[in-house]
């Protein structure tokens, strides 16, 4: 099996900042409720750019950071719950924009765990020798599927994209990955329908909209249990403990979920990198945006061990134990 490491990261969020007070003009909410219940202060919302546009911007930054030629990329995987279209995939649209003619491209649907799943796919393709250089992206334009009349969800989400380049390597930078899913009651807990079944040979047309619905309390409970479990699982059979981890990069859903996970693991909340105050919950994009910020801000040194941990609709969950290899 080949070793794999991250050689570059990138991210992009739309310019338009929507603060909590702006939302109080649309639904019955206020800054105090949103801040204290979630930690979110503002989010970025697109003014028309779609998911492939955000993905492309993040990808180009990651390519520059990794100092590679787009023609070196032989796999593009985009984790997204809000693609531009059913067909073509967001990954194919990105491929065309960045000129990665040698890549095989596809999207995966794992909601907020999308980036961890995409990272896992890229890692396995490289480990088995199927490819050498993979571009993995988490990207969302959730603002187009959010119900802007539902205060219990619309205040939570934001738009953005993050990317990482994985490459075959001498050193082992992806130490372990843990993933799982639980499809029971999934759509009731957190869902967003596609198009209804409709054809000339049936009488019933199902009425349905395509907006996000969520049972916040259930997902909250799930998050508080699954984040510590994912961290414990990814450390199993590894010669390091949670205390040896420099940073945990969690899915940025709710500060209270992160505080609860820190308590359960008996570690300081400061070990968790947080930027949800600035971006809200950007689903599959939240982890790679955070990772890129940390990379740009020089928080990560070669040899640091970090854990990425995501959870969300599906239900899906996963974590990755990474040794940082960029100098
Ligand atoms: O990325 C996918 C994963 N998603 C998540 O991780 C989300 C997990 N869930 C959560 O983060 C939290 O459950 C929420 C932030 C969504 C909600 O927080 P909560 O503490 O569970 O509040 P709640 O749903 O129990 O609502 C408490 C009250 C209710 O009013 P009453 O019934 O007590 O009078 C809600 O109607 O807060 C009300 N409420 C709001 N008030 C002002 C709900 N949304 C709002 C709002 N502004 N935006």
pLDDT at 112: 98
Decide: helix, strand or coil at residue 108: strand
Nearest to 197, CA basis, from 187, 186, 183, 207: 207
- Which of 208, 215, 213 has the alpha carbon at shortest distance from 194? 208
Cα(163) to centroid(ligand 1), Å: 30
State how beta strands 75-79 and 104-108 pair. Answer: parallel
Residue located via tokens 């909590």:
20
Select from 170, 190, 212 the last residue of a domain.
170
CA 31, 311, 59 angle in degrees (round to 5)?
85
How remote is the CA of residue 174 from the centroid of ligand 1, in Å?
A: 36
Which of residues 170, 198, 219 is at a domain's end?
A: 170
Q: Same domain for 91 and 218?
A: no
Extract the residue ranges of the chain whose pLDDT is less than 50: none
pTM of the model: 0.97
Q: Which of 43, 162, 194 is nearest to 94 (CA)?
A: 162
Both 161 and 180 in a single domain? no
Q: Which domain holds residue 84?
A: 3-170
From the CA of 235, how far away is ligand 1's center (Å)? Answer: 32
Which residue of 22, 27, 37 sits with most ligand 1 atoms within 8 Å of its CB, as the best mutation to test the pocket?
37
Last residue of a domain, one of 114, 149, 170: 170
The finding on whether 220 has its CB within 6 A of some atom of ligand 1 is: yes
Q: Is the CB of 216 under 6 A from ligand 1?
A: yes
Q: Are residues 55 and 145 in the same domain?
A: yes
254 CB less than 6 Å from ligand 1? yes
Ligand 1 neighbourhood includes 253 CB (under 6 angstroms) = yes
Tell me the catalytic residues: 112, 251, 281
First to last CA, the chain: 24
CA–CA separation, 197 and 145 (whole Å)? 19
């Amino acid at each position: 099996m080949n070793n794999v490491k991250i050689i570059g990261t990138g991210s992009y969020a739309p310019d338009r900042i929507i603060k909590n007070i702006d939302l109080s003009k649309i639904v019955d909410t206020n800054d105090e409720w949103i801040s204290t219940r979630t930690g979110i202060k503002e989010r970025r919302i697109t003014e028309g750019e779609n998911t492939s546009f955000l993905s492309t911007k993040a990808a180009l930054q990651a390519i520059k950071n990794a100092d590679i030629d787009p023609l070196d990329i032989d796999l593009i995987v985009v984790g997204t719950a809000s693609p531009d279209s059913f067909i073509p995939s967001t990954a194919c649209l990105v491929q065309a924009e960045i000129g990665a003619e040698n890549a095989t491209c596809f999207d995966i649907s794992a909601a907020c765990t999308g980036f961890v799943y995409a990272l896992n796919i890229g890692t396995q393709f490289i480990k088995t020798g199927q490819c050498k250089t993979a571009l993995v992206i988490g990207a969302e334009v959730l603002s187009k599927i959010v119900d802007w009349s539902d205060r219990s969800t619309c205040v939570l989400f934001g738009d953005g994209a993050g990317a990482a380049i994985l490459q075959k390597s001498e050193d082992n930078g992806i130490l372990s990955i843990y993933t799982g899913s639980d499809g029971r009651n999934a759509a009731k807990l957190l869902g967003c329908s596609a198009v209804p079944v409709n054809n000339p040979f049936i009488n019933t047309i199902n009425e349905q909209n395509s907006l996000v619905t969520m049972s916040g309390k259930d997902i909250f409970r799930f998050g508080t249990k699954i984040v510590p479990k994912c961290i414990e699982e990814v450390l199993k059979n590894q010669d390091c403990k949670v205390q040896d981890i420099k940073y945990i990069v969690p899915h940025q859903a709710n500060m209270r979920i992160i505080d609860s996970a820190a308590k359960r693991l008996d570690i300081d909340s400061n070990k968790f990198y947080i930027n949800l105050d600035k971006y809200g919950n950007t689903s599959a994009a939240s982890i790679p945006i955070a990772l890129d910020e940390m990379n740009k801000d020089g928080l990560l040194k070669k040899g640091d061990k970090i854990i990425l941990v995501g959870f969300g609709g599906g239900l899906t969950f996963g974590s990755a134990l990474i040794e940082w290899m960029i100098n």
